Chain A
Amino acid sequence: MKVAFAVDENRGLDSLISHRFGRAEYFVIVDTDTNSYKVVRNPGAEARSGAAIKAIQLLIKEGVRKVYAGSFGPNAMTALEEMGIEYVQLSGVPVKEALS
């Protein structure tokens, strides 16, 4: 399963999970089946409007089923629920710690 983590500074699996979702700088996307990961820029970070929706569109494209961030806005929560993506509120901890 693919799990995404919203982060602001790219330090691979040591990146700290961001307090924000839609405007986080990057997503660290971990494939728990193959134990591999990649880091992608969040198009929502520079969006004028609908940042969270642009972030979710990226997650859908990447086949992500679960996402971690410090907080999710009302638009983000509704859309994530509709798209069947699980979301978890957590921030300030490294990605690898959240994974274990």
Chain B
Amino acid sequence: MISVTGGKGGTGKSTVAVNLAIELARRGKLVLADLDVEDPNDHILLNVELQNEEPVNIMLPFVKYEACIKCGACAEVCDTGAMLLSPDKVPYVIPRLCSGCRACYFVCPTKAIVEGKRTIGYTYETPVNVDDVNFTLVTGMLREGEEHTPPAVLQAKRRALSVEADVYLVDTSAGTSNSVASSLDGSKLVLAVTEPTPLGLHDLALILELAKEMGLEVWVVMNRSGLGPEDRHERVVKEYGYEIVARIPYSRRVVDSYVKGVPLVISYPDSEEAFKLKELADRVWEVLS
């Protein structure tokens, strides 16, 4: 399993992931897992419609009022504030705040909490066929208004890993949250995509810190290379004991392929940028085999 991440939003994680997926799929059987569940968009970049929907359900507590002794233990243990005690100490559940952790269920001394369920999102398994290349795209998507991302991330990841393949490529969300850590967990290699900007540098340091803490191997990919100075990025990467393994030049062609909605390695297969991505795919493939 290989992950594409980077800390900052908008550095080109999904662009790198999608192009890399196509190149890796030429070499072996691949599953691309889009775990940016709050805003998955690899399917848009690949121009496919999501298929084979399955719900992501989490536990939602219901209260059996005749069994409730009004002890308040459920509200006390609730970490997200989803359980409110009324003036006469009867628990009242606020579904949207519930993360489905079951703590109330376990702590209730009279088994007055009944396990119900709630759908917070969906996973999809979509066959992709572009430029005579086939692979499977697994996508996690949170329902609008939901805030508990980890269950959707984990379920989509499980679904991706249940598909037989030689390579699993994970595309994470931006940031360094629980969800990103859950996405990265188990990666043999992490590709951290950054850009030569101060904010890119700042967020790169955060993701390198997280990866280091998780004991993961990181390769830094400098996207939009040439846009600005990279010496400070280089220093930071070196400090963490990692390396910038690829520089993808900033170019009009990348923007153009994005506008057309056709991944770069297909729309401009002979460009310098596509060459860098293919080279990266070769190096990744080497690590895997």
Contact = CB atoms under 8 A, between A and B. Distances in A.
Contacts of B92: 79, 82-83
A84 B87 CA distance: 9
Which of A50, A51, A79, A82 has the largest number of chain B CB atoms within 10 A?
A50
B235 to A, nearest CB: 34
B94 A53 contact: yes
Contacts of A54: 81
Contact of B84 (A49, A79, A84): A79
Nearest to A59: B87
Contact of B81 (A47, A60, A63, A83): A47
Interface residues of A, number: 19
Interface residues of B, number: 15
A75 interface: yes
Contact of A83 (B75, B79, B87, B97): B87
Contact of A49 (B75, B80, B85): B80
Interface of A: 44, 47-54, 56-57, 60, 63, 75, 78-79, 82-84
B107 interface: no
B75 to A, nearest CB: 7
Given A53-B81, A57-B85, A60-B84, 14 more contacts: A48-B79, A48-B80, A49-B79, A50-B78, A50-B97, A53-B82, A53-B97, A57-B75, A60-B85, A75-B94, A75-B96, A79-B94, A82-B84, A83-B87
Contacts of B82: 50, 53
Which of A63, A78, A79, A84 has the largest number of chain B CB atoms within 10 A?
A79
A63 B82 CA distance: 20
